[in-house]
Each structure stands twice: as structure tokens, then as C-alpha cells.
Chain A
């Protein structure tokens, strides 16, 4: 029996492949499995090719996984369009539409899988349900029959979904599903490929994506204002918030552009409320100027950037980790804005709350770098224990501080109490122009130096926040891996696999990407001879930022590739075992950072 199963399916828009994936996902949650569902589309608005991957397991799933255990192709053209997103190996069970007319021995793949099943999917759907629209439920029957995925839960799901659409429709879809089950039972697989029964603790798990998690966390953190502009793949944050935020006494503005969105959020923060904006790469570029304003007037603000392939419109529906430079460096002037990145859908909760807390505590804009994968994939997540989180509120002036109030008082910590309109005695001028302690415009070099000290030094304690880093593995290992964002989940699995193979290796996952926590990296590097940074950008942006700020190990390498080219756990395991071999004199990586695109 298997503990971990990866199904990849592709078809054209009308085939309902993604909806089948969603049905499997909710059935898996109900049965007590853990799973990750990722969907991928061409960039057409409707129709076009679509695919999904479901990784379902008995223990928490860290990433969408690499090679498929099962591949389902409703037609080969669409399947092949997803290339590396649906990798097939010799061990993959391939199920495809017989009607394609291709012989099992002639399927258009570069590998020869041992098990290739041509199934008359369309014919069976027509026969059982009388409509081709039931093809996806027939596929669900096949998958449930062959791989032991929640037979009953899927049926209940079908009843719930089609129950409202009339008795005929429901009956047809039920019949298609049972026909699939029957076909699987009549054509058993040669080798056992069933998933082990789930281990549940009885707690109700939820199926949720990263954007929805972000919105939920923002409300929990006390967000009372959102200003934004629609952009894939961040829009769902706004869509979700606009349904809920009013109930929390807040409000939301779909602005005329990204600049207005963040400007309104800065305004709301000036008015004393926790505020947020969300966007993707092109929008982040537009917001850059106002982020600078928030830094200089020291107003808390959370700016979510859900990364997609770039530059410009780039690959708007695919994941990439190439906005790190933009997040860290697109400010003008001497500014540091904290940049945080979550590593999974569940982690989005904590990191979003942290982003609000840091923004409030340090009176600074914070960039939350999510990515398309985390934002739009669905995870089965254990209930979140919200009692673990403390909520931070900005320091406000009290009593005597409101007599002759000095908004930008030069305090030891660099943090000065912040008033808001309506507070008697707290009036001040928030000015983008450099100012003195009272907020009055001031162009003295001496005051500018002091204010820069204040704004930059106040963030220093952040760089010692060990809780914003995950460390795993053998602390004395000479081989290290660093990874961030959604790719960190892949690295985590790879490091565990490598350890299980007897390799001494350790992993560092920064959730605080900027400012660079020099001490924490330096400690991690102490035992290392070789280290690789794994990420999804062509330049290896974190690799370069770390080199900019720390003394890196002698061999400090980059395993980086452009977005839309998923990195599989195997690839990292292979790199770790290569690193475990003794060094040869031909190693060039000390001189030239590898921009390997393997």
C-alpha cells in the first residue's frame, strides 16, 4: 500500500478536470487524508487547456511533489502543454482516453511507463450518463476504484454538487461515477497501488488556499482597511475580504489603480487603523513610491505581493520567486522594508499575522511575499490554534506625551508613540519631506542622518528573530540547503529524504528575507563547507542577497530556475548527494556562482 499518491490530470477547459480534482480534494479531507491540490491553466479567460495535480498522503503534505504516480490524459495535446508540471516516469500509471486513437505503445511521451491504460472514457460516460459532461465523474470512479480513494466520500460529494441541479443530472453523474468504479473493478491493476487508510485525530480539517488564508489571517490580526486593484494571482484576497471586513467594522476600497489602493491604505493607517493592500509584480512596481512614503512617515502597513512569472505581464498564472529584489530594493532613498515569505498555505496564517505585528510594532511597511503556488493551491490544513498568536498594536501616546507632542521623537529604540486624527493634543504633520522630531519639514544633513538612524536602527531587533527561521537537520553537518517560499516545502522533503539515506545535511528556511539576519546565517554557515540555495528565479535572487550581506561558505551554490519550472524533491536530493562527494579541484563554484538551470 502507498502512503503518498500523486495524481496529475489534464484536459481541455470543458472536460471538468479541475472540478474532478476539487472533488477528490474534498473527499480526501473528509476521509482524513492530507493533500495539496494545484491547478494550472493556459492564460485563456475561458476554455483552453487545464490541469491539476493532487498529492494525497496519510501525513501532512509539504509540497505538490515531483513525478506522478498516476497520469490522466483526456487528450494528449493538452496534457503535453503542461510539460514539466506533469512529469511522467517509467513508474507512473498512465490512464488516457482510448478515443485519441493512439496505441498504448505509441503514446507521445519520452518515457515508456510500465502500466498504460487506454480507457474508453467518453464512450463509458455517454453510455452511463448520456452526456460527455459526465466524463470527469467517470474518471473519479476509475481513480477511486484503482487507487482506493474515498469511494463513499466522492459519492457524497457528487450528491451534494449535483443534488440542486435536478434529479436527471444527479442520476447521470452518479451513474458515470459507478461505471468508472465498475470498469476499475473489472480491470484490476497488476501491481497494488492503493492508498493506505487515513490516520485521523478526529479534528475537522479545512480545505483552503493561500489567498483565502491570507484574508482570514488579516481579519484575525485586526485589519480594518484594504485598498487594492485586481491582479492575478492576488485578487482573491480582496474578493474574500470584501465579503467579511464590514462585519469587523472595517471597510474596503477597490481603487482605480494600485497607487490609489496603497495610498488609501496609508491614509487608513494614518487614521489609526490596521491597513493592507495586495498585488502582484506589476502592481508592486506602481506601489513603490508610496511604500517610500509609508517608511518616511513611519506608518504601519502590510503590502502583500503574490509573485507570478515576470517581468511585465510575464506568466500571470504561474508561480515564480523573482520579486525578491523588487521587494527588498525597489525603494528610493536609504530605506529598509521588512520582507516576509510564508512556506505553505497553513504558514500563510502565521506569517500574515506576523506581518501585521511587525508593521505595528516597528511602524513600517512590511512586504509579504507570497507566490502563485501557495496563493492558489489548496491544502488540507489542521485547525489553526489561534491562541498561539499575540496581536501587537502600535505604541500610542498617553498622558503627558500629548502635551507638546513630538511624533518623531528620537527614542532609544527608534520607536516613538504615534497619534491619529481625533486624538486631542496629538496633531502633527506627517510629511514625506524630511522632518525634525516634531514633524516639521527640515533639510539639515544632521537631522537627516538622525532620522535615517531612527528609521533603520529601529528594525535591528528583527534581525535577531530566530522564530522567523526554520532550521532542520544535523546542526554539525558540512552540507547545507537554504530555501524560501513555496519551494521551501520541496527542500524540506528533500532534506528529510537525504537524511533518511544517511546523508548529514541541514536546512535553513528564512521567513524573514529582508533585512538579512546576518548573525543567524553566520551561525548556520559555521559548520558548513558547501551550501546550496534553492529557489525559483533565473538569477537566484536570495542566493545573491545573502552573498551581499554575509560571509558565505567556501562553496556557496545556487540551484535556481525560472518560474513555471517546478523544482521536484528528487532534484534537490540529487544535488545534496553530489555535494556529499569529496571536493575535486575542478570545482569552480567558489569563483562563479552557478546559475544552473538544470
Chain B
């Protein structure tokens, strides 16, 4: 059965400020899910807390809006308990790289087949404009009146360094590109990460807004980047915060076995060992 975006859109009206980049993200996600073609009830969509983390509620998937920073562990439990599900995880840069930052490396090294979407707006939106882990040094926010004294984390380099098999970056200013990369991330068999530069119109930097993105963005494909080249991907990722690259930084050409497939294998082996032992005993 073919689905349309309407099948994935819930009746809830988003609480987001008009113009928030997250509107573009959810629209791209509907489109990607249409292309994937799994029924909504087979999709589990997990988030933390933040403006961006409201996103599961705007879909018809099974949504779980958990607590701040813990979306990844909850999602891993779901995927382990039922590997048949399509499991999506989403949240903000604060949710994923500050309070939940400690969970990211472990989700990556375990390599469950999950898609993790971060709506990176360089600010804490829901709590009204404090420093986030990706706020640039010097930025003045409601919690850094005289300018931030810290360097931001680099989400792209972070996940590449831990060995994520699929790493991409998109912008709502390029809906087609964004849709395609979410779809590819979902199709990648393993942990896939999509960083979306999703502007906060209310508390964000004017330089981060969609209009500026349109002029600043550089498509990796057009730059001739080979997405199988991890070291080159890391080099390009170094420019996070200065150059705005979009597209797939890295896709492992030989995806290793996922954790969920190993779970299945172990269950089968252990269960047949029990059956064999019972047969011997009988």
C-alpha cells in the first residue's frame, strides 16, 4: 500500500514559533517516510525534551517523548525488545550533546539500526535562549550576557570519531536534499546520524536563519566529496561552524553487523542449544 504524507501527519498542531526550522524537518520526515513505505504503526519515534523533541507528537507513529537527554537509551531498549520496528530518534543539540552527550558514543559503538536526527539550532529553545553546547564562542545569550567563554562541540566530528556508519548534515532551506538524506539514513543498516541546522527564529543568531543558509550552503556532492572516504569526511567536518556543508559526509560502504541482528542470532543459537539439550535428555 502506498502512503501519502497525510498518513504520517497527526492532528496535533505544532507549538513551534512560526518560521521555526523544525517545521521543515517534520515535513521532510513525512516525505522520507512516504518513500520508505512502512506503515505508521510499525514506526517508533523517540525524543527527549526541547522544542525539537516535540516532533514525535506531530506524526502518527508510536511516539515517546521521554526525558531530557535520554532518548537514545530508551530507543535502544525499544529496538532490542522488538528489532522489527523502524526506530527513529530526535532531539535538540542540548538534548543530544549536552545532557545526553554521554549516551551518543555508546549508541554508536553498539550500532543498533536507528536513525538519530538532531535539530541543531545552537541555542536552548524551549527554556528561552540559553547557551547550548553548539553555541559559538563569544555568542551573547540569555545565560552569557558578556559572551560565551567556551568552544562549542562539533557534532559531526564527534559522531565520525566514534565510528558512526552514516553521517549527514542538512538544512530545511533545501527540502529535497533533507528528505533524501533522512530517507538514506533510515535505509542505512546501522546507527545513522543526521545533523540538521534547524534555525531558531526566536532566540537564534540572525546569521543562522534560513535566508542566510540558502546563500551559505555548499552541497557535498557538488564539491565532489566521496562519501566512502571517512578521513576526508572528518576533514570537511572540521569546518563545522564556518562552512555550511550539506549532504552525506560518510556512509560506510561495508556496514558491519548490527547489534539487533546479533541479538536475533544469539536468541536463535541459545534457544536451539536448549532444544538440543532437551532432545539429548529425552
Measured between beta carbons, the chain B residues less than 8 angstroms from A256 are 102-103, 105-106
Q: Once the chains are docked, how many angstroms separate the CA of A268 from the CA of B83?
A: 11
Q: Once the chains are docked, how many angstroms separate the CA of A266 from the CA of B74?
A: 6
Q: Are A270 and B76 in contact (CB under 8 A)?
A: no
Q: Are A267 and B74 in contact (CB under 8 A)?
A: yes
Q: Are B103 and A260 in contact (CB under 8 A)?
A: yes
Q: Are A263 and B65 in contact (CB under 8 A)?
A: no
List the one stretch of A107-115, A162-170, A200-208, A247-255 in contact with chain B. A247-255
- Which A238-262 residues have a C-beta within 8 angstroms of B? 246-247, 249-251, 253, 255-257, 259-261
A388 contacts the other chain (Cβ, under 8 Å)?
Answer: no
B85 contacts the other chain (Cβ, under 8 Å)?
Answer: yes
Per DSSP, chain B at the interface is helix
8 Å CB contact of B80 from A225, A420, A431: A225
Q: Are A260 and B66 in contact (CB under 8 A)?
A: no
Q: Name, among A269, A297, A432, the residue most crowded by chain B CB atoms within 10 Å (CB to CB).
A: A432
Q: Are B80 and A264 in contact (CB under 8 A)?
A: yes
Q: Are A425 and B41 in contact (CB under 8 A)?
A: yes
Q: Are A225 and B74 in contact (CB under 8 A)?
A: no
Q: Are A271 and B41 in contact (CB under 8 A)?
A: no
Q: Are B77 and A271 in contact (CB under 8 A)?
A: yes
B273 contacts the other chain (Cβ, under 8 Å)?
Answer: yes
Measured between beta carbons, the chain B residues less than 8 angstroms from A255 are 73, 106
Given contacts A263-B70, A430-B65, A440-B12, contact A268 B77 (CB under 8 A): yes
Closest to A265 in B: B77
Minimum Cβ distance to chain A for residue B153 (Å): 18
Q: Are A270 and B271 in contact (CB under 8 A)?
A: no
Q: Once the chains are docked, how many angstroms separate the CA of A432 from the CA of B44?
A: 16
How many residues of B are in contact with the other chain, CB < 8 A?
A: 48
Q: Are B266 and A421 in contact (CB under 8 A)?
A: no
Measured between beta carbons, the chain B residues less than 8 angstroms from A423 are 41
Minimum Cβ distance to chain B for residue A416 (Å): 16
Q: Once the chains are docked, how many angstroms separate the CA of A280 from the CA of B33?
A: 42
Interface membership of chain B positions 63-90, coded 1 if the CB is closer than 8 angstroms to chain A and 0 otherwise: 1111100101111111111101100000
Given contacts A427-B61, A427-B62, contact A267 B67 (CB under 8 A): no
Minimum Cβ distance to chain B for residue A478 (Å): 50
A72 contacts the other chain (Cβ, under 8 Å)?
Answer: no
A227 contacts the other chain (Cβ, under 8 Å)?
Answer: yes
Closest to A293 in B: B67
Minimum Cβ distance to chain B for residue A137 (Å): 34
A429 contacts the other chain (Cβ, under 8 Å)?
Answer: yes
How many residues of A are in contact with the other chain, CB < 8 A?
A: 49
B49 contacts the other chain (Cβ, under 8 Å)?
Answer: yes
Minimum Cβ distance to chain B for residue A333 (Å): 12
Q: Are A440 and B57 in contact (CB under 8 A)?
A: yes
Measured between beta carbons, the chain B residues less than 8 angstroms from A428 are 62-63
Q: Are A271 and B106 in contact (CB under 8 A)?
A: no
Q: Are A246 and B270 in contact (CB under 8 A)?
A: yes
A275 contacts the other chain (Cβ, under 8 Å)?
Answer: yes
Measured between beta carbons, the chain A residues less than 8 angstroms from B266 are 246, 251
Q: Are A432 and B274 in contact (CB under 8 A)?
A: no
Q: Name, among B54, B61, B82, B269, the residue most crowded by chain A CB atoms within 10 Å (CB to CB).
A: B82
8 Å CB contact of B65 from A247, A289, A429: A429
Q: Are A271 and B65 in contact (CB under 8 A)?
A: no
Q: Are B263 and A271 in contact (CB under 8 A)?
A: no
Q: Once the chains are docked, how many angstroms separate the CA of A272 from the CA of B84?
A: 13
Closest to A255 in B: B73
Given contacts A225-B77, A265-B77, contact A421 B43 (CB under 8 A): yes
A224 contacts the other chain (Cβ, under 8 Å)?
Answer: yes
Minimum Cβ distance to chain A for residue B102 (Å): 6
Measured between beta carbons, the chain B residues less than 8 angstroms from A421 are 41-44, 61-62, 78, 82, 85
Q: Are A432 and B85 in contact (CB under 8 A)?
A: no
Measured between beta carbons, the chain B residues less than 8 angstroms from A257 are 102
A273 contacts the other chain (Cβ, under 8 Å)?
Answer: yes
B40 contacts the other chain (Cβ, under 8 Å)?
Answer: yes
B46 contacts the other chain (Cβ, under 8 Å)?
Answer: yes
Q: Are A430 and B64 in contact (CB under 8 A)?
A: yes
Measured between beta carbons, the chain B residues less than 8 angstroms from A270 are 44, 62, 64, 74, 77-78
Measured between beta carbons, the chain A residues less than 8 angstroms from B81 are 224-225, 251, 267-268, 271-273, 275
Minimum Cβ distance to chain A for residue B3 (Å): 14
Given contacts A260-B106, A430-B64, contact A275 B77 (CB under 8 A): yes
Q: Once the chains are docked, how many angstroms separate the CA of A256 from the CA of B162?
A: 15
B179 contacts the other chain (Cβ, under 8 Å)?
Answer: no
Measured between beta carbons, the chain A residues less than 8 angstroms from B270 are 246-247
8 Å CB contact of B84 from A251, A259, A422: A422
A433 contacts the other chain (Cβ, under 8 Å)?
Answer: yes
A179 contacts the other chain (Cβ, under 8 Å)?
Answer: no
Q: Are A267 and B102 in contact (CB under 8 A)?
A: no
B56 contacts the other chain (Cβ, under 8 Å)?
Answer: yes
A290 contacts the other chain (Cβ, under 8 Å)?
Answer: yes
Q: Once the chains are docked, how many angstroms separate the CA of A543 from the CA of B54?
A: 44
Q: List 29 A-B contacts (CB under 8 A).
A: A225-B77, A227-B73, A247-B274, A249-B271, A251-B263, A251-B266, A253-B76, A255-B106, A256-B102, A256-B103, A263-B74, A264-B74, A267-B64, A268-B77, A268-B80, A270-B74, A270-B77, A271-B78, A271-B82, A271-B85, A293-B67, A421-B43, A421-B82, A422-B82, A424-B41, A426-B62, A429-B64, A430-B65, A432-B65
Closest 10 CB pairs of A and B: A267-B77, A264-B77, A263-B73, A260-B73, A268-B81, A271-B81, A246-B270, A421-B62, A267-B74, A429-B63
Q: State the B residues within 8 Å of A (CB).
A: 10, 12, 15, 39-44, 46, 49, 54, 56-57, 60-67, 70, 72-82, 84-85, 102-103, 105-106, 263, 266-267, 269-271, 273-274
Q: State the A residues within 8 Å of B (CB).
A: 224-225, 227, 246-247, 249-251, 253, 255-257, 259-261, 263-273, 275, 289-290, 292-293, 297, 419-433, 440-441
